């Protein structure tokens, strides 16, 4: 074998150039494709999470629209308000896909308000069945607290839904 064999060097040079071109062009393309797939997956997760939370909030808003200050309605209100999706997403770490901290804060306030209504409606319902007073509150005072909280929560849910729509449009 000769060191200066022309066929060897032509083959070596062409193979080396092809390898370098493949590396120089191929790696950036592969990285771009990977980044595109990851960002698309994040976007799809975020959209799905927002849609599920939106559905849950819509259900809660519907339940709050029918509040009529009756004892029966207080018991129904407690059982009809939902926060299971929020709990699952927050406990499971899925909220990390939502990068808008103001929107997350609004969600937290909304669901805190919903839990407050659940608590107050349960207390009011129990109060009406057991006695006229619980923890120093009369039925009328509890009803007043519940009315105020429901009014505020309706507005918070509407605002949260508006912000979610904006975020979904931005992502969509």
- Domains of the chain, by residue range, sit at 45-171
What is the spatial distance between Cα 112 and Cα 120, in angstroms, rounded to a whole number? 12
Give every residue of the chain whose pLDDT is below 70, as ranges.
1-4, 71-72, 131-137
> Given this model, what pLDDT does residue 123 score?
82
End-to-end Cα, the chain, rounded Å = 64
> Given this model, what pLDDT does residue 136 score?
64
Residue 103 · residue 54 · CB < 8 Å: no
Residue 60 · residue 157 · CB < 8 Å: yes
Single pTM value for the model: 0.77
CA angle 124, 87, 151 (to 5 degrees): 40
> Given this model, what pLDDT does residue 72 score?
66
User: 3-state SS of the chain: helix, strand, coil percent to 5?
Assistant: 85, 0, 15
What is the spatial distance between Cα 75 and Cα 32, in angstroms, rounded to a whole number? 55
What is the spatial distance between Cα 82 and Cα 57, in angstroms, rounded to a whole number? 8
CA angle 130, 132, 135 (to 5 degrees): 90
């Amino acid at each position: 074998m000769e060191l200066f064999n022309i066929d060897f060097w032509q083959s070596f040079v062409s193979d080396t150039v092809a390898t370098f071109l493949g590396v120089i062009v191929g790696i950036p393309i592969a990285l771009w494709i990977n980044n595109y797939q990851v960002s698309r997956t994040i976007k799809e997760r975020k959209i799905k999470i927002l849609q599920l939370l939106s559905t849950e909030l819509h259900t809660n808003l519907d339940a709050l629209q029918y509040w009529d200050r009756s004892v029966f309605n207080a018991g129904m209100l407690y059982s009809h308000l939902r926060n299971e999706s929020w709990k699952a997403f927050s406990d499971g770490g899925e909220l990390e896909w939502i990068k808008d901290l103001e929107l997350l804060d609004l969600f937290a306030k909304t669901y805190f308000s919903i839990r407050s209504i659940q608590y107050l409606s349960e207390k009011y319902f129990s109060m009406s069945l057991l006695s006229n007073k619980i923890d120093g509150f009369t039925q009328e005072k509890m009803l007043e607290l519940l009315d105020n909280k429901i009014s505020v929560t309706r507005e918070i849910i509407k605002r949260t839904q508006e912000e979610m729509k904006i975020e979904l449009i931005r992502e969509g």
